[in-house]
Amino acid sequence: MQRASLGRKEFYKCISKVLLDELKDALRGVIVFGSSVYFRSARDIDLIVIVDRGLNLKEKMKLELKLSRKLRKRLGSAFFDVHVMDLDTFKENLVPGSFLHGLALGYEVIYGNSEIEKLILNFLKEISNEKYVIHDKYGSWDLAFHAKLTYKKRRLQT
């Protein structure tokens, strides 16, 4: 099954189902972020998978690889960049400079409770009042500006 043949919501449901089948009750949340959220033609799908307990580095890397392979096998041509963490690690990484700053550019919580959305909204609200600029190979991003836009958009949706 390829994402081009599915609508975005159906594709996200399929992702959630694969992860639920694999992780069962250990799955707490799934967030899609990165270029696949704002560019339909992105080459990879960045996922944050929140689980119920912390994992050591070996377990974490093994699980990330396993989930990435299962998703690719089930959903076709997309590459999945899976980041597994528990809720405490997720909270610790909601700071400018961590890889989660990409949430300011856009994200979708495709599985999980409202606590995850609230944590992200608080992060966006906090950084939207500061001056943060991220520089990468694609250019410079005014993180505060994008955080403000994403925060307002998400508040209207909730």
Query: Does residue 9 sit within a domain?
Result: yes
Domain count, the chain: 1
Mean pLDDT of the chain: 88
Query: Does residue 143 sit within a domain?
Result: no
Taking only the tens place, the pLDDT of each residue in 5-26 is 568 889 999 999 999 999 999 9
The Cα–Cα gap between 158 and 70 comes to 32
The residue range of the domain holding 97 is 3-113
Of the two residues 76 and 118, the one the predictor is more confident about is 118
Query: Does residue 152 sit within a domain?
Result: no
The CATH number of residue 66's host domain is: 3.30.460.10
Query: Does residue 30 sit within a domain?
Result: yes
Query: Does residue 50 sit within a domain?
Result: yes
Which of 33, 28, 54 lies closest to 44 in space, CA to CA? 33
Question: Residue 1: its pLDDT value, please?
Answer: 45
Query: Does residue 127 sit within a domain?
Result: no
Burial of 119 per CB tally in 10 Å (0-12, 13-18, 19+): middle
Which tokens go with 31? 């967030």
Residue 45: DSSP 8-state: E
